[in-house]
Amino acid sequence: MAYPVLEVQHLSVTYPSDGGAVQAVRDISLEVFKGETLALVGETGSGKSTLALAIPGLLDRQVRVEAGEILYDGCSVKSMGEAGWRRILGSKIGVIFQDSRSALNPVLTVEDHLIETLRAQGKLSKKEARARSSGLLQEVGIPEGHGRLHPFELSGGICQRVGIALAVCNDPQLLIADEPTSAVDLMIQVQILDLLMLLKQRLDLALLLISHDLAMVSQVADRVSAMYHGRIVESGPKEEILAAPAHPYTRSLIQCQPGLQHHYETHPLRAIPGSLPIPGQNFPGCAFAPRCSYAEPKCQEGVPGWMEVSESHHAACINWRVVVEGNWGKGIKG
C-alpha cells in the first residue's frame, strides 16, 4: 500500500499564556494521500489553523509542539534534519494562507515574490525564473502588467491568486490551504475554488483544506474530519459525514449551516447550544458533552476513543449509533 503523502501522528501544540500553557491541538492524527482532498472543518478557535501552521513548521517561536510525529511520503520530519526539511518545504509542500496580502512582502513586486521563490532551490537562473513567473501569473488568472505591482496595489482576490501561484510554483505534491476563500467576496470565492481544483488536478496534488464552509467542502472534498476544542472528533468519506454524521458536534455543525430554505419564522437556523470552551480549558471526558443533547454521565469519565461507524468512517462518541439514527429522523441527508 502506498504511503500517505502526509501523515500526522498524535500531534499536540501549546501556546504560552499568563495563566500557563494553553493546549490548542490535542493528540491529532490524520493522513492525506496523493490526489485526494481532506477537508478539516470546525468552528473558529477549534485549532484548525494552528494545525495547518504546525505541519510545515510555521508556528511562532514561543508556540511549542509538545508531542507527536509528522511524516512526509513515509519519512519522519525529525529524521530529515532542519536542512532536509527546509528542502522539502521549498519544493514539495505549498501553503496558501488565510490572508495572502498579509503573507506577502509589501516592498516586493508580485514578480519579485515569484522569482525569489522559484530561485530559492537554486535550479533556475533569474532569466528562467522571470519567464516561469510570467507563465504562472497567466495560469492563475492575474492580468498582464500586474506582476510589476506591489501587494498594497492589488485587490484581495488578486492577492489570493498570487498566494496560490507562490504555493504551486515549484510543483509541490502537498498543498495546505488555510481558509483560502474566506477573505474575498462570493464571486471571487467561486473563481479561487475553481482555480484550486484545476491546479490540483493538473499537479495531482494531495490537498489539506482548512475550512468552516461546509457548502464548499461538499463540492470539493473526498474525506472530511471535524475538529472541536483541539481534537478531531469524526473522520470519514464526505458522503457519509455529510449525509449521516456520527458525532453530535458534526451533526450540529451541519444543522446550523444557512441555506435557501431557512426563514427566521418558518425555518430558523439551529444554533449549537451553549458556548465554545475557553482556550486551554480541560475536560475529564468529551469536551462537547456540556453542549450535547446525547451526553450521559459516562461521557465525562474519559476522552472517548475512536468508534468504527464503517470501515473508513470513525467517530469519538460512545453514542454514535443513536446519533446516526437521529440523522434520518431529523432530515439530515447531505
Spell out the per-residue pLDDT of the chain, length 334, in tens. 467 999 999 999 999 888 788 899 999 999 999 999 999 999 888 999 999 999 988 888 889 888 999 999 888 888 888 888 888 887 889 999 888 888 899 999 999 999 999 888 767 888 999 999 999 999 898 988 899 999 999 988 899 899 999 999 888 999 999 988 876 777 788 888 888 899 898 888 999 999 988 888 999 999 999 999 999 999 999 999 999 999 999 999 998 877 666 666 677 777 888 888 988 889 999 999 999 999 999 999 999 999 999 999 999 999 999 999 876 544 454 4
CB 106 within 8 A of CB 86: no
CB 51 within 8 A of CB 13: yes
Q: 45 exposed, middle or buried (CB, 10 Å; 0-12, 13-18, 19+)?
A: middle
pLDDT at site 257: 77
Rounded Cα distance, 197 and 200, in Å: 5
**Considering the entire predicted model, what is its pTM?**
0.90
Question: In which order are the strands placed within the sheet that holds 313-315?
Answer: 93-96, 174-178, 206-211, 37-41, 223-228, 231-237, 313-315, 307-310
Rounded Cα distance, 47 and 150, in Å: 32
Rounded Cα distance, 244 and 324, in Å: 6
Query: Which amino acid belongs to residue 326?
Result: G
CATH for 6-221, options being 3.30.70.60, 1.10.3720.10, 2.40.50.140, 3.40.50.300? 3.40.50.300
Rounded Cα distance, 31 and 26, in Å: 16
pLDDT at site 36: 94
pLDDT at site 262: 65
Torsion sign (Cα): 218, 221, 222, 224: negative
Rounded Cα distance, 9 and 72, in Å: 11
Residue where the block lists cell 490572508: 99
Residue 99 carries which DSSP code?
S
Rounded Cα distance, 197 and 210, in Å: 15
Residue 221 carries which DSSP code?
-
pLDDT at site 210: 94
Rounded Cα distance, 26 and 51, in Å: 10
Residue 20 carries which DSSP code?
S
Which H or E run includes 153?
none
Strands 174-178 and 206-211 come out as parallel
Strand-pair partners of 224: 39, 236
Spell out the domain ranges in the chain: 6-221, 246-330
Task: Centre a 10 Å sphere on the Cβ of residue 298 and count the other Cβ atoms it contains.
Answer: 13
Task: Centre a 10 Å sphere on the Cβ of residue 324 and count the other Cβ atoms it contains.
Answer: 21
Rounded Cα distance, 162 and 204, in Å: 20
Give helix then strand counts, H and E, for the chain: 11, 12
From first CA to last CA, the distance across the chain in angstroms is: 31
Rounded Cα distance, 333 and 267, in Å: 17
Query: For residue 94, which of 38, 125, 55 has the smallest C-alpha distance?
Result: 55
Query: For residue 29, which of 252, 281, 233 has the smallest C-alpha distance?
Result: 233
